[in-house]
Amino acid sequence: MTSTISHALVHIDGSFCEGGGQLLRNAVALSALLSKPISIVNVRSNRKPPGLRKQHEAGTSLLASFRHTIFGSLIKISGGINLAAAICAAETEGVHVGSTSITFKPRKIELPRILSADPGTAASTTLLLQVSLPCLLFSSSLTGAAPSQLTLRGGTNATQAPQIDYTQHVFLPFMKRHFGVDVALKIQRRGYFPKGGGEVFCSVPPVAGALPAVTLMERGPVQVIRGEARVGGLPYILAERMKNAARARLLAGGIPPTTIRIDAVRETQEQAFGSGGGVLLYAETGNGCVIGGSSVSTKGKAPEEVGDEAADELLRNLRHDGCVDEHLQVSDMYVGVRPAFNPCGRTR
Spell out the domains of the chain, with CATH numbers in brackets. Answer: 10-155+196-204 (3.65.10.20), 222-319 (3.30.360.20)
Contact predicate 111/139, CB 8 Å? yes
> How far is residue 328's CA from residue 305's CA, in Å, rounded to a whole number?
24
User: pLDDT, tens digit, for every residue of 80-132?
Assistant: 487 888 888 899 888 888 888 989 999 988 888 888 888 877 788 888 898 88
State mean pLDDT over 168-194: 93
Residue 8: count other Cβ atoms within 10 Å of its Cβ.
Answer: 8
**Confidence check: pLDDT of 75 > 50:** no
Angle, CA 113 vertex, CA 110 and CA 117 arms, to 5°: 125
Computed on alpha carbons and rounded to an integer, the radius of gyration of the chain in Å comes to 20
Cis amide prior to 339 (ω within 30 degrees):
yes
User: pLDDT, tens digit, for every residue of 199-222?
Assistant: 999 999 988 788 888 888 999 999
> How far is residue 157's CA from residue 296's CA, in Å, rounded to a whole number?
7
- Range of weakest confidence among 78-82, 154-158, 169-173, 321-325: 78-82
Question: Whole-model pTM?
Answer: 0.83
Look at residue 111 in the predicted model and tell me its pLDDT. 82
User: pLDDT, tens digit, for every residue of 272-296?
Assistant: 998 999 999 999 999 989 999 999 9
**Confidence check: pLDDT of 67 > 60:** no
